[in-house]
Every structure is written in structure tokens, then in C-alpha cells.
Amino acid sequence: MPQPWRAFIDDHEIAYRAAAGVAAGPVVGRRSRAASDWIEHSRQLALQLGSELKGELGKAMAAGGPVAAISVCRERAPAIAARLSRESGATVGRTALRVRNPANAPDELQRTLLEQFGSELASGKFTLPLEAAFEMRRGELVERRYMRAIPTEPVCLTCHGKTLAPELAAAIARDYPKDQATGFEQGQLRGAFTVTWPAAAPSSGH
């Protein structure tokens, strides 16, 4: 497995790692956690968001086909992310270089990591999953942020591939007139799950 590296981007210290063999587990509620635990807590939040969203998409696809899945992405994905954010005290969500929902557009630092994820996935030299944990200095406080790459899986191609069913393409154009999230191939970077913790004293952790 590649060794972590550390660098500075716009005066923000980045701790990057490519990790494998991460097991899913329950998400705990808001409580004080040691600094050494915040990455694991973030990882579990990202995994839970992905698991719940995948489950709801599967149910929608089975009940009403790909067009029904569009409403899940529009309504349920933000609701799940909002609930996990309330329960944890972090801000949980998704982002991508090519977004369907403009509200998920990346900030500058997220874009940098997404570009790095994309290059690493394309190289074929990294074992999934790819994740990044980094700290941003805010005066005397530290804001901790985590990202986990979302590779394009075969099921993703139905709604994000190069060829869409006409009725699905029409539904996407109706609900997301500024959609950028089509034309993907299996294995490419689709986006990333994100977890951002409120700025806190370096010794307090999450």
C-alpha cells in the first residue's frame, strides 16, 4: 500500500493516504473523541452515507426503474446527509468534479484532492479505497476534513454512463438542467464522500 504523504496546499497541511480493507460499522452520535479517532469516525460516516444511498437507489430502481432513482438522488441523498450531519456534528455530503446537483460543487481544496484521486485511479497503481484526511489551520483552531473516493461502478453507468435511455435523459434534463455528470466509464472517479468537522482546538479532537 502506498505510504502517506504530507504537503501544503494554500497554507493548509494535507495528510493523504490510500487505504485498503476498511470495514463498515455503526456510526456513533455526537461526543468528544480523541484526535486519533476522528479519521475513523469520518470514514464510518462516509461509509454509512454510501450504504444508505445505495440501498435506497436499489429499491427505487427495482420499483420504478432508473427514472425513479433520479428522485432518490434529488430528495433522499440530501436528507440522509443532513441526518448524519445532525447526529455527528460534522457536515457530511458528496462532491465531484462533474456534478449533477450544483449544490455539490467542490471548493478549491476538494477539487485538488478530486484531481489527485482521479489521477491515481487512472494509474491503476492504488488499491481501493482511496481516502484523504487533512487539517486546515484557522488561526488557533484546526478544521478537520476527510474525503473518500467514489469509483464508477457498473450500476452507476445507468444514470452516469455515455448512453442513457431516452426517458431517463429527459428526466435528468428536467430536474438537473445544468447536469455535468454523464459520459463516465467503469473505474473512473465519479466523485467523493466528504466529512468536515467544525474548527476546534488541536487538542480537543472529534
- Look at residue 160 in the predicted model and tell me its pLDDT: 93
Helices (H), 72-150: 77-88, 108-123
The answer, yes or no, to whether residue 21 has pLDDT greater than 90, is no
C-alpha cell of residue 150: 467514489
**Residue with C-alpha cell 496546499?**
9
Neighbours of 141 (CB within 10 A): 13
Spatial distance between the Cα atoms of 23 and 30, rounded to a whole number of angstroms: 21
CA-only gyration radius of the chain, Å: 17
Spatial distance between the Cα atoms of 85 and 92, rounded to a whole number of angstroms: 5
Measured CA angle at 113 (ends 192, 8), to 5 deg = 145
The chain-wide mean pLDDT, for the chain, equals 81
pTM of the shown model: 0.80
Q: Domain segments of the chain: what residues? A: 5-20+32-196
- Look at residue 24 in the predicted model and tell me its pLDDT: 28
